[in-house]
Amino acid sequence: MLLTFYKYQGTGNDFIMIDNRTSTFPKGNKPLVAQLCDRRFGIGADGLILLEDDEKVDFNMVYYNSDGNQGSMCGNGGRCLVAFAKFLGIIDKETSFNAVDGLHSAIIEDDTVELKMNNVNEIHAKPNAYFLDTGSPHHVQVVESLENIDVYKEGAKLRYGLYGERGSNINFVEPLDTGTFAVRTYERGVEDETLSCGTGVTAVAIAMHKANRVQDETVDIETKGGKLQVKFLNDKVNVYSNIHLIGPAKQVFKGEIEC
């Protein structure tokens, strides 16, 4: 099969995009997905995303981690898929679409995509950390000297040792200025550090607000791949709502591969 694909990135978090409205992609073929995402023997990406038809909204998002398994919600992937949908002419400036965690809406202006995430109702405090689900499970831990953290080693230790087989994404955070944080993330499914993680950035912003390390409901995040912003509303009890992940999403190239 000759497969046409597009490569997108959002703050360095990169994805293979496939227009699967004709339902031709072999969705159960995990080894194929893993091979396509392999950076030496395939195209190379943190994940693969299928854009499919949906009866009620503009499109449906199907996300695979680079290990070939279907994953939970991917924030940067969702933002890139919105840019892809605009490129295909499916949407203009506003959209709503379905993903594994339910309905999302988004606004796109030039290369900037503002994606509405689902509400966060539970935040669990742990010793020196927080755990919450922003479409994917996330551990958020404040550290010093973020540049010197061995994210692969320490992330894997927490991902498997603390959270078992199901695992969690692991975020290491360092405060920079008032309302700004630097973040490095170990992503399950990729099983390594990625340059950016959208659901992770969202989790960090909410956890830092919950921890009273930031008072504003707009939080700036610096990842290794670039800058993102998270906006939300908080009812001062537990519920975080109207959560928006904002940042760039760009097409890198288009190609064909035999598979």
For 17-85, give the secondary structure using H, E and C.
EEECCCCCCCCCCHHHHHHHHCCCCCCCCCEEEEEECCCCCCEEEEEEECCCCECCCCHHHHHHHHHHH
- pLDDT of res. 249: 98
What pTM value is reported for the model?
Answer: 0.96
Q: Is the pLDDT of residue 237 over 80?
A: no
Identify the burial level of 112 via C-beta atoms within 10 angstroms of its C-beta, where 0-12 means exposed, 13-18 middle and 19 or more buried.
middle
Question: How many CA atoms lie less than 13 Å away from 212 in the CB half-sphere?
Answer: 2
Asked whether 123 and 235 are in contact (CB, 8 A), the reply is: no
Name the CATH architecture for the domain at 123-242.
Roll (3.10)
CATH 3.10.310.10 fits 2-116+249-258, yes or no: yes
- pLDDT per residue as tens digits for the range 175-214: 998 889 999 999 999 999 999 999 999 999 999 999 999 9
Question: Residue 211 is encoded by which pair of tokens?
Answer: 């921890």
Average pLDDT, the chain: 96
pLDDT band at 166 (very low <50, low <70, confident <90, very high): confident
Q: Is the pLDDT of residue 238 over 80?
A: no
Alpha helices in the chain (DSSP H): 30-37, 75-87, 151-161, 198-210
pLDDT band at 165 (very low <50, low <70, confident <90, very high): confident
Radius of gyration for the alpha carbons in the chain, expressed in angstroms and rounded: 17
At position 15, the amino acid (one-letter code) is F
Lowest mean pLDDT of 129-138, 139-148, 159-168, 216-225, name the range.
159-168
- pLDDT of res. 127: 87
Q: Which residues are catalytic?
A: 74, 197
Distance (Å, rounded) from C-alpha 25 to C-alpha 29?
9
- pLDDT of res. 186: 98
**Closest by CA position to 167, among listed 67, 46, 63:** 67
Chain CA centroid to CA 222, Å:
14
Question: Residue 226 is encoded by which pair of tokens?
Answer: 């670039």
Identify the burial level of 254 via C-beta atoms within 10 angstroms of its C-beta, where 0-12 means exposed, 13-18 middle and 19 or more buried.
exposed
Q: Is the pLDDT of residue 236 over 80?
A: no
Question: Residue 190 is encoded by which pair of tokens?
Answer: 């990729």
Match 């610096």 to its residue by tokens: 222
- pLDDT of res. 240: 97
**Closest by CA position to 19, among listed 97, 115, 73, 85:** 85
Question: Residue 89 is encoded by which pair of tokens?
Answer: 């002419």
pLDDT over 70, % of the chain? 100
Q: Where in the chain is the domain with CATH 3.10.310.10?
A: 2-116+249-258, 123-242
Q: Bigger pLDDT: 166 or 72? A: 72
